[in-house]
Amino acid sequence: MKIEQFYTKCLAQGAYYIQSNGEAAIIDPLRDVDNYIDIANKDNSKIKYVFETHFHADFISGHLTLANKTGAQIIYGPKADPEFDAIIAKDNQVFNIGDLTLTVIHTPGHTLESTSFLLKDKTGKQHCIFTGDTLFLGDVGIPDVAQRYMGVSKEELAGILYDSVNNKIKPLSEDILVYPGHGAGSACGKNMMKETVDTLLNQKKINYALNGSLNKEDFIRQLTDNLPEPPTYFPSNVKLNQQGYADLDEIIENSKISVLANSFLKTATDNNAIMLDLRHQDEFAKGHIPNSIFIGLDGGFAPWVGALLVDIKKPILLILEEERVEEAITRLARVGFDNVIGYLKGGYNSWLDSGNQFSTVKKISAKEFEKRSKENNIHVYDVRKPSEYLSERIINANNIPLSSVENNFEEINNTEDVYMHCAAGYRSMIANSILKSRGVQNIIDVEGGFAAIKDTNIKISDYVCPTTL
């Protein structure tokens, strides 16, 4: 028996490979499937099944591509309605993988078709459960993230989820391992642990959904209070996962088109395309194409693309090192952004070499920020999440979370210098690029963000644990 977790940090997502006696199965694969095929080939095993825990909203799954390339059958749990060939399994239906069995456990609540899969070894002993977005480590999945079922409220879904977790998962053997679909950082839950595997026994001690600390009514209230609206790309991803999509190889071939510097701006204008700069934030600050948007490839790239670019079908032109173009196209395609129409040939240096105009971002150190804050009554904007801001912040700083900067840029003082920070510098540079594209030119970025500011003598609010807010 072999189980391998493929964890993608950018998406905080876990896919799984199971192998036994020449047969293999994949659970919740990403769209780029070569890693799964490669490991199966190394194990001299045939991928027999692709199991999907539900119709994912935060990424495009690789189920169709894997089925096309390997002949594997796609398996969903009850209530799923895909528009392609798949097995819709019954609750408690058993599938064989070599000497192992995988039992379908219908666990609705996150979505109505949400299903977990219980793995048993060759002796029939329960070994682990793959819970998808039903049960996370320290948390559960947010109900109805993207699908907004007709006639079913978020409170009803939360109640269904409570029953699924407590009646279907909690009674299982305590020594089994729990493999969730996501970890900390995913938008599919509120307060997940950073660990990506745990025992059911430990989760029954620490997870509020399992430890008996909440009755059903309180659970529903806690899960649905202040439930955020899903990112705008989530419904589009659900639709693609349910109806079908183009293979990634085709997307890469159609997108990997070089555009010369002297025609780059015209191409963007003619196609109403976003010029997306994926370099490091320090490079973007030194110089960038006017009105380009920064979302660095080495940060929380794909989720921020999905949250901020809004229109999943809008054309995109890339600005980054040429050797990373295919990586960028792949990571965009993972979240359904398939409309890359090209990249700047020769990278940003070719733009400079052609004598084109460029913009910069004003930056100062945290020490200089401290000095200026003592000398003047300055305007400070914190673009971290509300929970980060409420837990610890600069006194009198204004909070405009990055996710809402686009819709609130008119609130920012546009006549005096404005100082902006996030936690470490990545998000504030994204915010700066969005604001500059909207004509706000007086933003000064604080290098190192709040982490650097805390090393100065600037007055900080008293720390309050976010879970008590």
The per-residue pLDDT for range 436-466, each reduced to its tens digit, is 999 899 999 999 999 999 999 999 987 655 4
Q: How much is the average pLDDT of 290-317?
A: 93
Write down the pLDDT at residue 336: 96
CATH number at residue 310: 3.40.250.10
Range of the domain at 456: 362-468
Write down the pLDDT at residue 469: 37
The two structure tokens encoding residue 390: 């409420």
Residue-averaged pLDDT of the chain: 93
Structurally, the chain folds into a number of domains equal to 3
Whether residues 221 and 280 share a domain: the answer is no
Whether residues 316 and 395 share a domain: the answer is no
Confidence of residue 171 (pLDDT cuts 50, 70, 90): very high
Whether residues 382 and 341 share a domain: the answer is no
Write down the pLDDT at residue 461: 87
List, for residues 149-162, the tens digit of each pLDDT value.
Answer: 667 888 999 999 99
Phi, psi of 247 (to 5 degrees): -65, 150
List, for residues 366-409, the tens digit of each pLDDT value.
Answer: 999 999 998 778 999 999 999 899 999 999 899 999 999 988 88
- CA distance readout (Å), 57 to 60, 252, 275, 336: 8, 22, 25, 10
Beta-ladder partners of 394 = 460
Q: Of 331, 353, 375, which residue constitutes the final position of a domain?
A: 353
Q: How much is the average pLDDT of 332-345?
A: 97
The two structure tokens encoding residue 153: 């409220």
Is 203's pLDDT higher than 60? Answer: yes
Whether residues 382 and 422 share a domain: the answer is yes
Q: Of 236, 258, 282, which residue constitutes the final position of a domain?
A: 236
Write down the pLDDT at residue 145: 58
Whether residues 68 and 127 share a domain: the answer is yes
Q: Within a domain: residue 96?
A: yes
Whether residues 326 and 401 share a domain: the answer is no
Using the CB atoms, write b or e for 196-227: b if 16+ within 10 Å.
bebebebbbeebbbbeeebeeeebbeebbeee
Q: Within a domain: residue 241?
A: no
Whether residues 130 and 219 share a domain: the answer is yes
Whether residues 218 and 78 share a domain: the answer is yes
Q: What is the pTM of this model?
A: 0.91
Distance CA 175, CA 404 (A): 43
Confidence of residue 411 (pLDDT cuts 50, 70, 90): confident
Distance CA 232, CA 311 (A): 8
Is 467's pLDDT higher than 50? Answer: no
E strand or H helix that includes residue 160: helix 154-164
Write down the pLDDT at residue 320: 98
Q: How much is the average pLDDT of 285-302?
A: 96
Write down the pLDDT at residue 229: 77
Write down the pLDDT at residue 184: 79
List, for residues 87-140, the tens digit of each pLDDT value.
Answer: 999 999 999 999 999 999 999 999 999 999 999 999 999 999 999 999 999 999
Q: What percent of the chain has pLDDT over 90?
A: 83
**Helix (H, G, I), strand (E, B), or coil: what is residue 275?**
strand
Whether residues 230 and 378 share a domain: the answer is no
CB contact set of 425 (below 8 Å; sequence gap of 6+): 281, 445, 447, 448, 449
Whether residues 36 and 150 share a domain: the answer is yes
